[in-house]
Amino acid sequence: MAETLLALLLVTSSAKGSSLVYHWPETPRSLPRLERPRPFGGPALLAQLDNPCRSIQLDASERRTRLPHTVRPHLVENNEYEWKRSHTSRRRSTSFSRAGSVPASGRNSPVKEGAYDPDAQGNPAVTEDYDDLLGYSAEFLAGILCPQRSLCHQKFELIVDDLAFIGHPVCTEDDGVWRFKPEPKLKISSRGRDTRMKDASPMVNSPASSPRVGPIQDEQVSGESSWLQTFHFVIVLDLPDPSSSASGNVLKYFDIIYEQIAFAVTAVLFQQQVTVNFVEKECDTLGSLKDEYNAKGEPYTKYMRDALEISSIAPAMRAVFEAIKSSSIAQITIDSIPLELQLPPYLDRLLHSQEEADLDYIDRDDEEVEGSWGKDMSFAWRLPSLSPWKALLLLGEDNPGLDFYGNLRGPHQSSEERKLAQSLMKFLDLASIRLQLADMAIELDWDLESQVYPVVRWLVYHRRAKIVDVIHEGLKTVFTVSSHFKTPLPMLSQEFSAQFPQSIPPLPIILSLVSGSTYQQTDNTFFAAVVRNKELVPAYHDVVEWMLKKELLVTMHLRIRVVATPALKKNVREIWISRGRNRGQKIVGVGRGSIGGSGSIHVELDALAQASPPTTFLSMSPRSVRRRVFNSADLHGSAIDDEEDSRDDEDNPCAGDMEFPEDYGNFSDEEPSLIDDPGTAKPIERCWLAAMSEGKVLNIRRRFEQINQFFDGKKTDNEILFRADISRKQLREVLHHYDEYLQTFLHPS
């Protein structure tokens, strides 16, 4: 959005026509488009045209001094290299007839006729500044942006040449009175229930909801006479280059801008117009000032500057424009109504191809993220999943404009509000990058899903906090340096030196130590690389928190995968061959066993019927049936009790799966095999996992069986610890005993 936003407009219509009341910035300009390399001028021009490679080269001095869109003086007359709107080649003052045109305010108030006629004014250049915008006449723009009544009260999207106009025009009712649209009559079912959809007003767990347009009642009207018939708050965009993104992305791009900015501002303006005639009064004020300054020949910049002092809409438009261009939150006030507006931080990524986008991050706008953050915060926000093992980093301390406690401290109208404010203050005091959200819920005695998460969503949406990975209390966390900094390093170093005492090394040295530790084979934690002294750990807690706020550090997490080695696979094959041979001897004449093309041992159905009565067979699980069949076919005819069965399971992998896995032929014993997802392992992979535990201590083996489902290379160590409910020491024990079968690596979260 910061790349394409050109201007914000407020246009109105009355009985005398349409008018552009105000816009920001003062002189918006669209970016140059469809530019192509220019050949060198001079006598050798024709020769260079025969050589395309030479014709696109620029000499080094010109490449250093010339802006990309600058036109060379000797080629100014060669216009086919630049695309221009068809009407801009004509003089703007003569593009449209202005005889008897409507004054800037568009009001019924008395004004001088022909106030915009260049011949009647002493300075045509000044008049042109008042009447031209983006190469078009202000009268023309206002006319196309104030649609007919049937097109009002809905999304407006218009593309003219290289410009896109987005808004939500609103108008009076047929009788010329401003009022809210009446709600549709309720349809009551036979059981007395309301069949409407639930109210879509903002809730705590939906921080990005658009504001409602006041109470929808016919009786709430200003009651004052109105010349204003239509007003339209318009966002003007430089139409994205079709080659830079897919058409679907552009449409989604327009939709988000409309929902988050255009509709939200229009909702407040419409509410105030209906209730107190606010927009008309503002247009009267701005229109009178504009007419006065134009008649006096005052510069247009003076009108723009003075309008900010006498109007509420003008400074709000400027604040919204500047916030969008800086990708921050716009905190505006419209007729004493505070309003916060913002766009998703990574919305502009929709306009870039995957090759041009930041490849260090993969957008995860999937069901998991949407389920935890909600639909409004899942798209172009680049948020990690809202998980119990994450932590909260507060951002308000370094920003004077973000006062956490101002409203919480009161005054409060009721004891219930006071109690809620105290709980929220306790939440903010407890939040730390060293405390999991699940632990916060326990400390506060809050429900994680219904109480903790809504507060976190609100803080993150309003950029008062961000979700980060939990930092070890002793700073034994592995970091790497971010691939790019939002602020230049010299400025960061200066701010760092002013923030921390001289006992802390300069910021470049810390970054160098962290960067070097990433590639160490031994201890590469922040403590080992930078701190190196337990007494300095508290001081470096603040350093790490500051660096995380500036997005200088990226947390590295341990991820684990399971690999079946060739030796293990050969061992499992030998066991199965031996077991299949023995089983074939035990059930000779009843069944047959073969290790062939399908790699399985077949047992005749009549043998199963003879070995077990039908009623008992149907009541058992498949594994119990197989165990019962083979045990009954034993030459000694004795049953194996639970203790012997357990001992057999320990000595022989896959003792419970008596059939030879059919998928064994798909794997080679000469190469290692990666078990992609142990939680949904294939039969032969389950045999390998069982064989890995041969000879291991009982409690270690059981813990491996408990947690190997998380060794898929996707889940981080923090997630494994939380889901398995084990300590980091217990995880290290498993990794140590199963080291030959595990592949561990560090990766950003």
User: In terms of Cα–Cα distance, which of 308, 314, 221, 311 is closest to 273?
Assistant: 221
- Give the pTM: 0.72
| Low-confidence winner among 475-484, 616-625, 663-672, 692-701 (lowest mean pLDDT) | 616-625
**DSSP H helical ranges for 366-448:** 367-373, 415-430, 437-444
> What are the tens digits of pLDDT across the range 270-324?
999 999 999 999 999 998 998 898 888 888 889 989 999 999 999 999 999 999 9
User: Measured between alpha carbons, how far is 95 from 373 in angstroms, rounded to an integer?
Assistant: 51
The pLDDT score that the predictor gives to residue 131 is 76
> Are 360 and 40 spatial neighbours (Cβ–Cβ below 8 Å)?
no
> Are 8 and 237 spatial neighbours (Cβ–Cβ below 8 Å)?
no
> What are the tens digits of pLDDT across the range 55-109?
444 444 444 444 444 444 444 445 555 555 554 444 333 433 333 344 444 444 4
| Average pLDDT, rounded, for the chain | 74
- What percentage of the chain has pLDDT greater than the value 90? 41
> Are 734 and 717 spatial neighbours (Cβ–Cβ below 8 Å)?
no
DSSP state of 247: H
The pLDDT score that the predictor gives to residue 650 is 53
State yes or no: cis peptide before 384, omega within 30 of 0.
no
Higher pLDDT, 15 or 207: 15
The pLDDT score that the predictor gives to residue 675 is 93
What is the H or E stretch that residue 674 is in?
Answer: strand 673-675
**Integer angstrom CA distances of residue 479 from 201, 382, 553, 685:** 42, 20, 6, 34
Query: pLDDT grade, residue 393 (50/70/90)?
Result: very high
Which residues are paired to 70 by β-bridges? Answer: none
> What are the tens digits of pLDDT across the range 565-580?
999 988 888 887 776 6
The pLDDT score that the predictor gives to residue 725 is 93
